[in-house]
Amino acid sequence: MPYIMTRIIAVKWSPTISSMSKEISIMPFYDYRCQACGKPARLQFSYSEYGKVQPVCPHCGSLEIKRRISRVAVAKSEDSRLDNMMEGDLADLDEDDPRSLGKFMRKMGQETGEDLGDEFNEVVDRLEKGESPESIEQSMPDLAGGLDSSGDIG
């Protein structure tokens, strides 16, 4: 009779330390869906247990459980993450609509996780209300910072 595994672990990877050798081994998760109750399950097996252990649905106890392909997480740098996000958002950006521009700027500001200051927040608020970038720029002459009249750094 096969050994029945019913453990569910809440973390993606769980290192375990062998008391004899003090080596770290990683026990991966395997994703399943129960054919009886339809619920997903994430079970953890050691490499030596996988294929030898009969998985059991932790919700209903059924042995009618099928392995699913797990989602993959890819580590990205902050710059790469923001670039990928901006590509999708730029496709939706209507540069002639101040509200769309304001929404985009607010989202980018939130994604940086930094306080971009009162001036930034004021500009975004005004854009989201539909005010044109030109009128905002005229009412806030220091907004351009070091830009000359042509918009170039001068």
Q: 62-74 pLDDT, tens per residue?
A: 999 999 987 776 7
DSSP 69: P
User: What parts of the chain have a pLDDT lower than 70?
Assistant: 1-26, 73, 75-76, 78, 81-82, 84-91, 144-154
Residue 58, helix vs strand vs coil: coil
Identify whether 15 is part of a domain: yes
Domain's final residue, options 22, 38, 68: 68
Print the domain residue range for 46.
4-68
pLDDT at 11 (0 to 100): 36
Domain's final residue, options 12, 34, 68: 68
Identify whether 154 is part of a domain: no
Contact between 93 and 101 under an 8 Å Cβ cutoff? The reply is: yes
pLDDT at 39 (0 to 100): 93
82, 51: one domain: no
**Cross-strand partners of 5:** 55
The pTM score is 0.40
pLDDT at 113 (0 to 100): 73
114, 82: one domain: yes
Q: What share of the chain is helix, strand, coil (3-state, %, to 5)?
A: 35, 20, 45
| 34 phi, psi to nearest 5 deg | -75, 130
64, 88: one domain: no
pLDDT at 138 (0 to 100): 87
Contact between 85 and 110 under an 8 Å Cβ cutoff? The reply is: no
Identify whether 114 is part of a domain: yes
| The residue type at 150 | S
**Cross-strand partners of 44:** 29
CB half-sphere exposure, 47, CA atoms < 13 A: 5
Identify whether 54 is part of a domain: yes
Contact between 139 and 117 under an 8 Å Cβ cutoff? The reply is: no
- The span from the CA of 84 to the CA of 71, in Å, is 19
pLDDT at 96 (0 to 100): 83
pLDDT at 77 (0 to 100): 72
Identify whether 97 is part of a domain: yes
The CA-to-CA distance between both ends of the chain, in Å, stands at 80
